[in-house]
Amino acid sequence: MMLHRVLLLTGLMALTLPPAAQAQTALSSNANAAVQITEARKANGGLMRQYTWNSRTEIVENGEVKDIRLELVNYAPDGTLQRSLLNDSAAPLPRGFLRRAIAEDKRKKMEEYLTGLRNLLEEYTLPTTGKILDFMTSAFTVGPDAGGLLEMTGHNVVAPGDTLSVWTDARTRKTRRVQVNGFYQGDILTLTATFNTIPSGLNYMAYAEVSLPAKGLTVQVQNFDYHRPN
């Protein structure tokens, strides 16, 4: 009841402020929230560095599985992310010098394509306080819904014409789901990702799927089995 009264009072105060004051109040609130989100991310990142986990990546091209990789992932003492390949079920290269050379070239180009794609998606994590603030200032917020999730949706976040939606637990402020509709090298791109939280409080991306229909390409990533080495 007390929280309800505070929220009601805050709403009434906002209604009585002149437009310029309302805008300044909203900007100040967003700035504080952006800093809080950044600090929470830093804390989560510090916790993440204590863990080792498995990551499974499946690459599907035109309905055919081209590669399945299972990696052991952890952070090195210098803070760099390390990936140790446990298993790679890539389609075998064809025999014959010319055919093999063509296949190797295609595989190399695919690796470069996927590296660029990973770099683009990294931008949608809004890695700095400034980027978080820019998003929160322009985003449209809905909720919380029946499940207690707040939805924030912004447009033109990383590139013109894109849309980023983030669903956050209204109580814990932890990310629960992310959706991106954008472009990569001129092609339409969609990303959906879901997040889990383990008892220690670590929040991590459990599953993500990236789809590029024009290329007939789908990339699926699963992260699991998070544990602290003894």
- In DSSP terms, 182 is beta-bridged to 189
pTM as predicted: 0.75
Which domains does the chain possess?
Answer: 14-91+125-227 (2.50.20)
Mean pLDDT of 180-184: 93
pLDDT score, position 30: 60
Residue 17 has pLDDT above 70, yes or no: no
Residues 88-137: pLDDT tens digits? 766 555 555 555 554 566 667 777 877 888 788 888 887 777 788 888 88
pLDDT score, position 89: 66
Identify the band that residue 3 occupies on the pLDDT scale cut at 50, 70 and 90: very low
Q: How far apart are CA 154 and CA 24, in angstroms?
A: 20
Residues 128-156: pLDDT tens digits? 777 888 888 888 888 788 888 888 899 99
6 contact partners, CB below 8 Å, separation of at least 6: none
Q: Choose among 181, 166, 171: nearest CA to 132.
A: 166
pLDDT score, position 90: 61
For residue 1, give the 3-state DSSP assignment.
Answer: coil
Q: Choose among 168, 209, 207, 161: nearest CA to 188.
A: 161
Q: How far apart are CA 191 and CA 209, in angstroms?
A: 6
Higher pLDDT, 6 or 100: 100
Task: State what percent of residues in the chain have pLDDT above 70.
Answer: 77
Q: Say if residues 183 and 157 touch (Cβ distance below 8 Å).
A: no
Length of the chain: 230
Mean pLDDT over each residue of the chain, to the nearest integer: 78
Q: Choose among 187, 195, 120: nearest CA to 157.
A: 120
Residue 188 has pLDDT above 80, yes or no: yes
Q: How far apart are CA 123 and CA 178, in angstroms?
A: 13
CA torsion through residues 158, 160, 163, 169, sign: positive
Token pair in block for residue 146: 């029946």
Higher pLDDT, 43 or 7: 43
Residue 4 has pLDDT above 50, yes or no: no
pLDDT score, position 29: 59
